Structure 1
Amino acid sequence: MAANGEALTTQGYIQHHLTNAAVGEGFWTWHVDTLAWSIALGLVFILSFRSVAKKATLGVPGKFQCFVEMIVEFVSQSVKDTFHGKNALIAPLSLTIFVWVLLMNFMDIIPVDFLPSFAQWVGGLMGYDPHHVYMKVVPTTDLNTTLALALGVFALMIYYSIKIKGFGGFMKELYAHPFNTPWLYWFNFILEVIALIAKPMSLALRLFGNLYAGELIFILIAGLIGIWQLPAHFIWAAFHLLVIPLQAFIFMMLSIVYLSLAHEDH
């Protein structure tokens, strides 16, 4: 890529790839590339799984139907083994989290210059300066995405904790645990609130950190090697293929565990 007709330095190249296409200012800044790719991949998940469900047969399934059934069975078994309450929402929620995060992570495999360069070309046709057209194609390398997912899980945790235990029971878990002694209630409350807030933060930062680090290495490879990046890109991608499904699985499993704890009525 270039800026103002001159070749970018490696630092400028990296910075360009780490910049989101954004509108708005301050708190109300919207990362339109993150939103667009997240919504598009969510629709890919919904429409493809819906299509398989509508066309499912009792006979010999097709390859894609078999693949979808394997994912559904895997998630279903994970929920059965981990979630100890009764809630019909948990299994479809877990499936959505796993597949959606997996699809967003897999965008990391696409060579870093392909889609941004296409976006620059389209921007140029529309009259924009191509050097000021940005696009990040991996939604999970944007902390806004991972934090939004984690806060969604956190909101469900609080909702079901209050629904199952009542507001008094939920508050008692905060101030009477681990030391059920009145003069230590204030200490318990501080510890439990910190632990409660740490759950969504750890969910968000773990997913973001792993994917951001992987994406940064892809960008470094492309910035240093240029057009010859593809062999090195796919070598690193082979290792990164272990991280992509693992991080989706960890996010799903921790979500199930946290929601299971919220359903425990002591």
Structure 2
Amino acid sequence: MTTETVAAGAQPVGEHALTAGQYITHHLGHMRSQAQPGIIDFNVVNYDTILFSVITALIAFFLLRAAASRVTSGVPSRFQGAVESLVELVEDQSKAIVHGDRSFIAPLALTVLVWVILMNSIDFLPVDLFATIFRALGIHTAEGHEPFFRSVPTADLNGTFGMGIVVFACMIYYGIKIKGAGGFVKELFTAPFGAHPALWIFNFGLNLIEYAAKTVSLSMRLFGNMFAGELLFLLIALLGATWIGVTTQSVALAGLQVLLGTGWALFHLLIVPLQAFIFMMLTLVYIGQAHEGH
């Protein structure tokens, strides 16, 4: 991305460029169904998060489907070999963690891994790409700004928390499936402190906290890392926004932007798959714990 693009990104049409704070605030805003008055409002829909979640899910589906349809007994292609390596990785991890029927769990873990990698990888797109596209198409709000738009679903807590809730549902489902409804409820009230009636309320409270902590920590961990990465890309992009011509300061800051941007992008090549792997592993661990009693 050029420094000129960064400097002009998301600025009001026909007005002066945004300040650094306004620039970051604009890029961290979502394309929403309505303004969000508080921290939690289930009437608000983030269209950008849903759009890119669906797009990456479809890409993951077609990639895995293409790999499955091209399986051969001979020498595999590079694409087939890469997918087979992922399948073997997930299968080995699921076999070591989940002791029981893995016919659904292993494919779920593979899907989670590929899907989260794809969603995280959107962070490699230039930070002003969509602002530039909107500006070229003449799309702007009534105030003259390019619309709010964030393309990384995992940098939105709504997206990661949605996935965390699905993992929570799987924990409850396998807890009931493996132990039976009676056994699951009994464990809620009798573990880990004991079956004495005086301890039931403490057991139940602790188990509720455990389930909530697993869901929240799973969601917050992925969100926090991707949000921080997105914010750093924006801060690095701002270095080029001070361009005022061929001056020592402008050239130095533009060069620093290229240097830091390249370095952070290369480091991000490790963060993107690592965060996806951690999310997959925690999914397996939590579902595996549902197969076992206290």
Structure 1 length-normalised TM: 0.93
Q: In 2, Cα distance between the equivalents of 1:120 and 1:129?
A: 14
Q: Give secondary structure in 2 for the equivalent of 1:212.
A: helix
Q: Please state if 1:41 is matched with 2:56.
A: yes
Pick one of 264, 267, 278 that aligns with 1:236.
Answer: 264
2:192 is aligned to: 178
- Number of residue pairs matched? 265
Pick one of 206, 216, 227 that aligns with 2:231.
Answer: 216
Q: 1:114 to 1:257 in 2, by over 3 A?
A: same
Q: Provide, for residues 70-121 of structure 1, a one-character-per-residue CA deviation record: whole Å limited to 9, x for no partner.
A: 1111111111111112131001100011110111111112221123322343
One-letter amino acid of the counterpart of residue 3, structure 1: P
Q: In 2, Cα distance between the equivalents of 1:240 and 1:125?
A: 31
Q: Please state if 1:121 is matched with 2:136.
A: yes
1:195 is aligned to: 210
Which segment drifts farther, 98-107 or 176-185? 176-185
One-letter amino acid of the counterpart of residue 187, structure 2: E
Q: Provide, for residues 173-218 of structure 1, a one-character-per-residue CA deviation record: whole Å limited to 9, x for no partner.
A: 2221121132222112111111111111110000000110111010
2:276 is aligned to: 248
Q: In 1, Cα distance between the equivalents of 2:187 and 2:264?
A: 46
Between Structure 1 and Structure 2, the one with more helix by share is 1
Which segment drifts farther, 164-173 or 85-94? 164-173
Structure 2 length-normalised TM: 0.84
**8 Å CA contact 2:161, 2:219 repeated in 1:** yes
Bigger-Rg structure (1/2): 2
Q: 1:221 Cα deviation (Å)? A: 0.8
One-letter amino acid of the counterpart of residue 26, structure 2: H
Q: 1:82 to 1:148 in 2, by over 3 A?
A: same
Q: Which runs of 4+ in 1 moved over 4 A?
A: 125-130
5+ residue gaps in structure 2? 1-8, 36-40, 244-253
Pick one of 10, 13, 19 that aligns with 2:20.
Answer: 10
Q: Give secondary structure in 1 for the equivalent of 2:145.
A: helix
1:81 is aligned to: 96
Q: In 2, Cα distance between the equivalents of 1:132 and 1:211?
A: 23
One-letter amino acid of the counterpart of residue 131, structure 1: H
Percentage identity across paired residues of the two chains:
46
Which segment drifts farther, 113-122 or 131-140? 113-122
1:166 is aligned to: 180
5+ residue gaps in structure 1? none
Pick one of 19, 24, 30 that aligns with 1:20.
Answer: 30
Q: 1:265 Cα deviation (Å)? A: 5.4
Pick one of 128, 135, 148 that aligns with 1:134.
Answer: 148
2:6 is aligned to: none
Q: In 1, Cα distance between the equivalents of 2:183 and 2:48?
A: 42
**8 Å CA contact 2:94, 2:102 repeated in 1:** no
Q: 1:89 to 1:220 in 2, by over 3 A?
A: same
**8 Å CA contact 1:140, 1:211 repeated in 2:** yes
Q: 1:11 to 1:60 in 2, by over 3 A?
A: same
